[in-house]
Structure formats: C-alpha cells, structure tokens
Amino acid sequence: LNQYHCLPQSRNLHLCLLQSRNLHLCLLQSRNLHLCLLQSRNLHLCLLQSRNLHLCLLQSRNLHLCLLQSRNLHLCLLQSRNLHLCLLQSRNLHLCLLQSRNLHLCLLQSRNLHLCLL
C-alpha cells in the first residue's frame, strides 16, 4: 500500500499507523493517539494534542511541557530532578520537602514548617 495516498484519504487510519514510519500526518488526523504515543519517539506533538498525558509522562524524558500542562503533578514530582517548577505550581509541598535539598523556597511558601525545622 502507498502510505502517502493512504493517510490523507483513508478514514480508518489503523493500517496506516502500523505501516507508516512517519507518524506526523497520523498525529494530526487521528483522534485516537494511543498507537501513536506507543510508536512515536518524539512526543512533542502528542503532548500538545493529547488530553490524557499519563502515557506521555511515563515515556517522556523532558517533563517541562508536562509540568506546564498537567494538573496532577504527582508523577512529575516523582520523576523530575529539578523541583523548582513543581515548588511554584504545587499546592501540596509535602513531596517537595522530602526530595528538595534546598528548603529555602519551601520555608517561604509552606505554612507547616514542622518538616523544615527537622
């Protein structure tokens, strides 16, 4: 099958997604990005279009875009080594206090200083 003719015309992109090496056009047209997320190495376009960032968070090494878009920062806090952006956005600083080596920002923002004092 000719991939380039298949992608624009076909309504069912399942076969195209399996055969095509270049998923750029699939990502733009496909409403179900599940297969794209599994095959694509570059998740930049997936992160922008996908409403469910769960799979992106697990595969993506660069969590910068995830931190900005994701409302649930729990997984980001566990994987991210740089907690600066987490400290600014997260309302619950409990996990940040445990992982962060520099507690200066925590002391200024946290209402409960018990862990910081310890």
pTM: 0.18
Q: Is 57 exposed, middle or buried (0-12, 13-18, 19+ CB in 10 A)?
A: buried
Q: Render pLDDT for 79-118 as a digit per residue (tens, 0 to 9).
A: 455 454 444 445 545 545 544 555 555 555 455 545 444 4
12-58, pLDDT tens digit by residue? 555 554 455 555 555 445 555 554 554 455 444 454 445 544 445 44
**What are 19's two structure tokens?**
């055969």
- The tokens for 47 are 């992160």
Cβ atoms 67, 86 nearer than 8 A: yes
pLDDT band at 8 (very low <50, low <70, confident <90, very high): very low
Of the pLDDT bands very low, low, confident and very high (cuts 50, 70, 90), residue 4 is very low
Give the pLDDT of residue 7: 44
| Tokens 């922008």 found at | 48
